[in-house]
Structure formats: C-alpha cells, structure tokens
Amino acid sequence: MSEPEVRPSRYGRVMTALLRATLRVDVAINRIVPSDYNPLYYTGGLANLFLLVLVLSGIFLFFYYEASLEGAFASVRYLTQTVPYGGLLRGVHRYAADAFLVAILLHLFRNWFTDRYLFSRDNPWISGMILLLFAGLIGFTGYQLVWDERGQVLTALFVRILRSLPGVGPAVADLFLGGPGVSDGTLVRVLFLHIGPASALYLLLWWHYLRLRHPKIWPPAAWVLFCVGLVFLLAGLIPVGAEAIPPAAPAARPTRFALDVFFLWPFWLLNWLPPAGVAVLGAVVFTAGLAIPYLGRRESPQALGVRHAGVAQVIDGNCTGCELCYYDCPYNAIIMVPSPRPGLTKAAANRTLLAVVVESRCVECGICIGACPFEALELPALLERDVLAQVAEAVRA
C-alpha cells in the first residue's frame, strides 16, 4: 500500500505536532513509573477521584453552612475556626476543586490531541464539554457562597454579565438574584446552583460513560493515595482562611483581591473586556469546543487509511450468535437480538441470537473482526480476503 500524497492542512500539522508532544510526555513518564501507573492514561479517573473528594468534603461543609446574608460568613468562620478540622476540610474542598479542573483539562487536551473523539466518540466529547461547563459554574458559585467581599464583588460582576445578555438579560439576572437586588433568597439560589449541578454531574457522567465498555473511572491505588494526600497536605500547609478577606457588607468598597484562575478567569477578563464581551467570548470558546469532533480533522480520510475502513458489517449467514464480538466491542456497538431466521452455514443453522452492529456507535476499529471465529464480521474497506492476500504476498518466497 503506497502512502497517500495529500499534504495535511495547517491545522492537521499543528495537531500532529501536539499529538507527538503528548506522546513524548508519555514516554518520559513511562521511564519513571510502570505504564499501568501512568496518570495520563487515567485522566478521567483522576477527575472522578477529585469529584468524590469534593462531594464528601462538601457534605461536611453543607452541614455547617447557613444560606443567609447575615449568617453565611459567620457560619463559614465558625466552621473554619471552631469546628475541629473544619478549616482543613474547607481547604481540602477548595484544593480538590482546583485539582478537579486541572484533571478535567488534562483529560480534555489529551483526548483532543490523541484523536480520541473520532467517529462515534463525539458523544462522550459533547457530554464532556457540558460537564466542564457545569464544573466551572459549580466552582464559581462556591466562591460566592462564602459571602466575603470577594463573593460580593463576584456576584455583582456576574449579575452585570447576565444583564448584558441580549433580550433575556435583566430577566435572567432577576431570576438569579431572586428579586431586584441581593437578598437572603440570592444565597439560597446560589447554594442550589452549587449543589444541584454537582449532583447533576453524576447524571451527566452516566451519559459520558454510556458508549464505553469498561470505562476507566478510577486511577490506580498509588495515584488515589497520592492525590488525596496532596490535597490534604496543601490544605494543611496553606490554610484557606489565611486570605483574611473581610465579610461582605452593603457599604463595602472592595478594590482588589486574589482570583482562582481556574474558576474565576471570566471575572479577571472584566478588567479589560466589557461584560457583553466576556459573555460572547465564553459562548465562542464553548461552541468551538463543541465543534471539535465535527470540524477538527487532523488527518484526511485518505491519510487515515486502514483506520477508516468503514463501520463493521455482520455477515448474517455466518453468525452463530456466540456473543464473542458483543463481549469484545469496547464501545457497546454490537447488540445481540433474537435471530429472525436460521443462518446459512452448518454452525449458524441452530442459532438463537444474531449479532447486530449499531452503526452510530461503531468507530471502525475492527476488534469484533478479530473476536469472531466464524468470519461473520467484516470491515468494508479491509476485507478478510484482502488481509489474507497480503499475508500470502508477504510469505511468497
């Protein structure tokens, strides 16, 4: 087979360079740790681990939080200073949130650069982008809940961004605030916007895992220990309450404070952009992210060669209903149905089940072809007889 002469696009060349760089990082890491301990092979699992830490520490924090203008900061201060290990768990919650977003971004960039969104893998990509959006929203509302001066300013800036939305702006802002201005109801809504989407994350994760058999949702034990330990160490060494931001007050005029770059970057951009500009930028970035599986193609179909051999086809006459392809398909793209009629070969004549390929889930990998002992599956552009012809040619003296 000759190499296709098509020259890749500039986007293709950039993405190929990023692919090679990503895999070079793997080579470096695999020199230090065994490859089944490489954290980059478990980026999704790392995110899931930090999410669990967040949920558990969050439940603890929730027990002490009071969602009212007067009581919010006082309850947080009580938790931090009086409750044993309260301040520590608050720190665990905050640092795990940053680690959560770092893990999500590693997961996003790795799966983007290594072409793991092709064909029917666009589905986990879309659900993943929505997960990222929810995670960002949850992190932002977390900073509001403290109701210190930073939370107060963030709320005011967020309302300004909401108001800049065309048409629905003021209505959405009032819905968020629970009225024309900040009130106790606002914090109740913010608390809901923090915990509701956090629970919804698990529902979105169900969607995210849906087409994958054996998703890697948990990292190896060594990394579980390391990540939880790191979060506790940071929480102990850099206590959260040490920022000493005063509580929110109606007359407060805060001017500058530290920003968590992972969750609060839209507000940092407000230093330079108008609120509508930040909204537009966010929408553009999110839409571009959603478009990656559809518009981004590192390699042309010709360059993909055997990797784009067509969705698997069941050869009805040969299928015996043995289910080996069903068990091996990594994407749950093969289902077994009651056989409507007997097969043609002797082995298939008495079958009760028939394999059916769900073409919308097939990524053209061919693992089912390797699994089938009865030659009942084929890739249209790489038939068994093509492979055997290559074998015969390879062995010819």
Partner 1 sequence: MRGAYLAGIAALSAVAVAAAAGIVYGEATDRWYLGGSLVGVLLIAYAGIVLLLRKAGLIGPRKAER
Partner 2 sequence: MSEPRIVGFVCDWSVDLRPLLDGGRLRDLPAVRIIRVPCSGFVRPAWLEEALNRGAAGVFVTGCPYGDCLNREGNFLMRDRIDQLQRRLQRRKIDPARVAMLAYGLHDGRAFVDAVRAFVERVGSLPAPAARPARPAVAQPAGAPEGEGT
Contacting residues toward partner 1, per CB under 8 A: 33-34, 36-37, 84-88, 91-92, 214, 220-223, 225-226, 228-237, 239
**Is residue 254 within 8 Å of residue 156, measured between CB atoms?**
no
The reply to whether 373 sits near partner 2 by the rule CB under 8 A is: yes
DSSP 41: G
Report the nearest approach of partner 1 to the CB of residue 211 (Å).
Answer: 19
- Going residue by residue from 267 to 306, which x/- string records binding to partner 2, judged by CB under 8 A? --------------------------------------xx
Residue number, 270 or 292, with CB nearest to partner 2: 292
Q: 71-81 and 43-64 are packed helices; what angle lies between their axes, rounded to 10 degrees? A: 110
Interatomic CA distance for residues 134 and 50, integer angstroms: 15
Interatomic CA distance for residues 15 and 228, integer angstroms: 33
- Going residue by residue from 169 to 188, which x/- string records binding to partner 2, judged by CB under 8 A? --------------------
Binds 366: which of partner 1, partner 2, none (CB < 5-8 Å by kind): partner 2
Stretch of 82-90, 141-149, 259-267, 380-388 lying at the interface with partner 2 (CB under 8 A):
380-388
Which residue in the set 116, 265, 311, 313 belongs to the binding site for partner 2 (CB under 8 A)?
116
Distances (CA, A) of 60 to 140, 192, 311, 391: 19, 16, 49, 63
Which residue in the set 4, 12, 30, 353 belongs to the binding site for partner 2 (CB under 8 A)?
30
Binds 251: which of partner 2, partner 1, none (CB < 5-8 Å by kind): none
Interatomic CA distance for residues 312 and 325, integer angstroms: 11
- The CA-based angle 372-123-376, given to 5 degrees, is 15
**Is residue 368 within 8 Å of residue 359, measured between CB atoms?**
no
Look up residue 105 and give its two tokens: 């971004």
Residue number, 50 or 113, with CB nearest to partner 1: 50
Stretch of 27-35, 71-79, 227-235, 268-276 lying at the interface with partner 2 (CB under 8 A):
27-35
- Going residue by residue from 209 to 238, which x/- string records binding to partner 2, judged by CB under 8 A? ---xxx-x----------------------
The residues near 171 (Cβ < 8 Å, ≥ 6 apart) are none
Look up residue 238 and give its two tokens: 């850099």
Report the nearest approach of partner 2 to the CB of residue 155 (Å).
Answer: 43
The reply to whether 8 sits near partner 2 by the rule CB under 8 A is: no
The reply to whether 1 sits near partner 2 by the rule CB under 8 A is: yes
The residues near 369 (Cβ < 8 Å, ≥ 6 apart) are 312, 377, 378, 379, 384
Report the nearest approach of partner 2 to the CB of residue 9 (Å).
Answer: 18
Q: Pairing mode, if any, of strands 313-314 and 377-378? A: antiparallel
Residue number, 26 or 384, with CB nearest to partner 1: 26
Stretch of 19-27, 83-91, 160-168, 263-271 lying at the interface with partner 2 (CB under 8 A):
19-27
Binds 30: which of partner 1, partner 2, none (CB < 5-8 Å by kind): partner 2
Residue number, 91 or 139, with CB nearest to partner 1: 91
Interatomic CA distance for residues 32 and 352, integer angstroms: 51
Number of helices and strands (H, E) in the chain?
15, 4
Report the nearest approach of partner 2 to the CB of residue 351 (Å).
Answer: 17
Interatomic CA distance for residues 268 and 190, integer angstroms: 20
Q: Find residue 313's DSSP bridge partners.
A: 378
